[in-house]
């Protein structure tokens, strides 16, 4: 690329980084970097849901929180859902286009279904289409965007006084940690999250506090063994 300066229509000098194709072939600065999981607490999540309000936009935000937190979906997977992908009778959600194009079916608990109902009732008043859609304006009924989801999450979290990062993927981390704490097998958590291997799933569980690990191991019961083993317990 030429080193000659580039100017916009107003005669202002433009940075080379703003030019089309400048980043082509360049690896992102954060490529290969892994950040520790820091999921929000239940109290923080509920606080955000309360501050979302009861307007249609707030009801939509709470529904998005549900599928990210209680079903562990990626934000793009949630955006891609249609109204017909939810099966309340079965207690499941069909993810048709997961990471790598993989299809999977995930579970959703009864409490989360109850929290979804206000948005489902609101959704039938809008044009048919994606489950999470634009509510007002000329694009009404079209898919809600991931950028808009993240922006609304940050805004409502700030109103709720949540000072840690409150992003869609953090709710997915929270889901994984809660399943682990509830004793679900690692391979079940892997399938729920749609991970190709257990190694990725284990990264999500790094947020378990050291004190939890110590307490869990310390409270283990003594092994059961036959008297013939000759050991005094």
pLDDT in tens, the chain (233 residues): 455 666 655 666 666 555 555 556 666 565 665 555 688 999 999 999 999 999 999 999 999 999 999 999 999 999 999 999 999 999 999 999 888 888 999 999 999 999 999 999 999 999 999 999 999 999 999 999 999 999 999 999 999 999 888 999 999 999 888 888 888 888 888 888 888 887 777 776 766 555 554 565 556 565 565 655 554 54
**Does the pTM of the predicted model rise above 0.85?**
no
**3-state per-residue secondary structure call for the chain:** CCCCCEECCCCCEECHHHCCCCCCCCCCCCCCCCCCCCCCCHHHHHHHHHHCCCCHHHHHHHHHHHHHHCCCCCHHHHHCCEHHHEECCCCEEEECCCHHHCCEEEECCHHHHHHHHHHHHHHCCCCCCECCECCCCCCCCCECCHHHHHHHHHHHHHHCCCCCCCCHHHHHHHHHHHHHHCCCCHHHHHHHHCCCCHHHHHHHHHHCCHHHHHHHHHCCCCCCCCHHHCCCC
| The total number of structural domains that make up the chain | 1
To the nearest whole number, what is the mean pLDDT of the chain? Answer: 82
Determine, yes or no, domain membership for 25: no
pLDDT of residue 17: 56
Determine, yes or no, domain membership for 164: yes
Determine, yes or no, domain membership for 66: yes
CA-CA-CA-CA dihedral for 49, 129, 148, 21, to nearest 10: 150
Determine, yes or no, domain membership for 91: yes
pLDDT of residue 186: 82
As annotated, the active-site residues are: 74, 99, 169, 172, 195, 204
pLDDT of residue 80: 95
Domain that holds residue 88: 42-207
pLDDT of residue 38: 80
pLDDT tens-place string over residues 107-121: 999 999 999 999 999
Determine, yes or no, domain membership for 94: yes
**CATH number of the domain to which 66 belongs:** 1.10.443.10
Are β-strands 6-7 and 13-14 bridged in parallel, bridged antiparallel, or unpaired? antiparallel
pLDDT of residue 44: 95
Determine, yes or no, domain membership for 76: yes
Q: What are phi and psi of 159, to 5 degrees?
A: -60, -35
As given in the structure block, the two tokens for residue 31 are: 């490529």
Determine, yes or no, domain membership for 35: no
Determine, yes or no, domain membership for 213: no
């Amino acid at each position: 690329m030429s080193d000659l300066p580039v100017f916009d229509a107003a005669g202002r000098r433009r940075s080379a980084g703003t030019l089309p194709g400048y980043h082509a072939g360049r690896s992102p600065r954060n490529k290969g970097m892994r950040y520790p999981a820091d999921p929000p607490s239940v109290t923080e999540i509920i606080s955000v849901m309360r501050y979302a309000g009861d307007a249609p936009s707030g009801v939509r935000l709470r529904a998005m929180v549900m599928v990210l937190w209680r079903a562990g979906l990626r934000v793009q997977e949630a955006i891609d859902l249609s109204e017909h992908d939810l099966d309340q009778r079965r207690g499941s959600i069909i993810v048709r286009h997961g990471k790598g194009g993989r299809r999977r079916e995930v579970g959703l608990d009864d409490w989360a279904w109850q929290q979804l109902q206000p948005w489902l009732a609101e959704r039938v008043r809008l044009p048919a289409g994606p489950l999470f859609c634009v509510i007002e304006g000329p694009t009404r009924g079209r898919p809600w965007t991931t950028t808009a989801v993240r922006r609304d999450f940050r805004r409502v979290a700030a109103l709720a006084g949540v000072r840690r990062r409150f992003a869609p993927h953090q709710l997915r981390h929270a889901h994984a940690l809660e399943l682990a704490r509830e004793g679900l097998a690692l391979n079940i958590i892997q399938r729920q999250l749609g991970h190709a291997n257990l190694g990725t799933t284990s990264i999500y569980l790094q947020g378990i506090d050291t004190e939890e690990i110590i307490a869990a191991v310390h409270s283990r019961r003594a092994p059961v063994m036959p008297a013939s083993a000759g050991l005094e317990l």
